[in-house]
Structure 1
Amino acid sequence: MDQDSPSFPVQLYIYDLSRGMARQLSPLMLGKQLDGIWHTAIVVHGEEFFYGGEGISNCPPGGTQLGEPNSIVDLGQTEVTAEIFMEYLAALGESTYRAARYLLFEHNCNTFSNEVAQFLTGSKIPAYITDLPSEVLSTPFGQALRPILDSISISPPGGSSFNGQR
């Protein structure tokens, strides 16, 4: 990293949408232990950014109705300025991460966080998060529930739809 360029911390906020229920019920329902149903967001430049059924949204860190994250992972530093990052997000919001493209298993908050983390830091988010959909779908119960779950769109309340402006 260039010593003269400013760098900014990048964090992954991890929330358990099941609020502990996945840990309790997954052995009975899926035949395997899941520690949570993960929603993730990227925190950089003093804002939390996430993707859901409303498209890309942002809020102050921990500002959705999910409250404080279950855990925070430091992903490293970025030299990407806030201005460049907003342009990048605006482009993603008009193409890859439009609201209509949300799919619970294949194209969700975690795929967004993973892509943004790689853009900012060159690193991926933890595999236990990105591998969760395939873990669920590898079970008979997951396959049986897929048609119902595919119709679900998750977007934590409390964020504002991102419009590319600060």
Structure 2
Amino acid sequence: MDKSATRYNVQLYIYDLSRGMARSLSPIMLGKQLDGIWHTAIVAYGDEFFFGGEGISSCSPGGTMLGPPDTVVELGETEVSDEIFMDYLSSLGESTYRGDRYRLFEHNCNTFTNEVAQFLTGRSIPSYITDLPSEVLSTPFGQILRPILDSIHIAPPGGNVINGGRNV
């Protein structure tokens, strides 16, 4: 391995969209404890990248209306250049992660950050985040709510949508 290669730090920003309400209400509503309703983003190259109903977006770290993250996880370092990364995001944004492909349970911000984390560092995001949809859907109340929840497209305001490798 070339020791002179530039290395970039990669972080996972974790936000609880319920602002703590999931922790207190989930035992009553779902019959099981959920610690949060998670939105995640990848922070690398000086920006925060996330996927929502608008597609892939970026902003300065902590720059959405969600404010600062509840938790920051160090995912490690990458030698992928920012130019290669932006090309990668552009191709994802034109295919797998277009805004119209967003699905709250099956194809969401956490699916995106897990894929990007693996591309950059070879590491997955924590399983308590990726397992959350199946935990909710395994409950009777989750099944009742599914049609409503499937129609929700989360896109935190404050980001710039990435199209064709450039910020719009």
**Shared fold, TM over 0.5:** yes
1:95 aligns with: 95
d(CA) in 2 for partners of 1:121, 1:60: 21
Which runs of structure 2 are paired with 1:116-155 in the superposition (5 Å)? 116-155=116-155
Uncovered stretches (5+) of structure 1, i.e. residues with no partner: none
The CA deviation string for residues 19-63 of structure 1, in whole angstroms up to 9 with x for no partner, is 000001000000000000000000000000000000000000000
**TM-score, normalisation: structure 1:** 0.98
The aligned amino acid for 2:51 is Y
Uncovered stretches (5+) of structure 2, i.e. residues with no partner: none
Q: Following TM superposition, by how much is the alpha carbon of 1:2 offset from its aligned partner in structure 2, in angstroms?
A: 2.6
1:16 aligns with: 16
Query: Alignment RMSD, CA only?
Result: 0.7
Q: Following TM superposition, by how much is the alpha carbon of 1:111 offset from its aligned partner in structure 2, in angstroms?
A: 0.1
d(CA) in 1 for partners of 2:157, 2:25: 25
2:58 aligns with: 58
d(CA) in 2 for partners of 1:165, 1:100: 19
The CA deviation string for residues 69-126 of structure 1, in whole angstroms up to 9 with x for no partner, is 0000000000000000000000000000000000000000000000000000000000
Q: Following TM superposition, by how much is the alpha carbon of 1:165 offset from its aligned partner in structure 2, in angstroms?
A: 2.0
1:165 aligns with: 166
Q: Following TM superposition, by how much is the alpha carbon of 1:4 offset from its aligned partner in structure 2, in angstroms?
A: 1.2
The aligned amino acid for 1:122 is G
Q: Following TM superposition, by how much is the alpha carbon of 1:151 offset from its aligned partner in structure 2, in angstroms?
A: 0.4
**TM-score, normalisation: structure 2:** 0.97
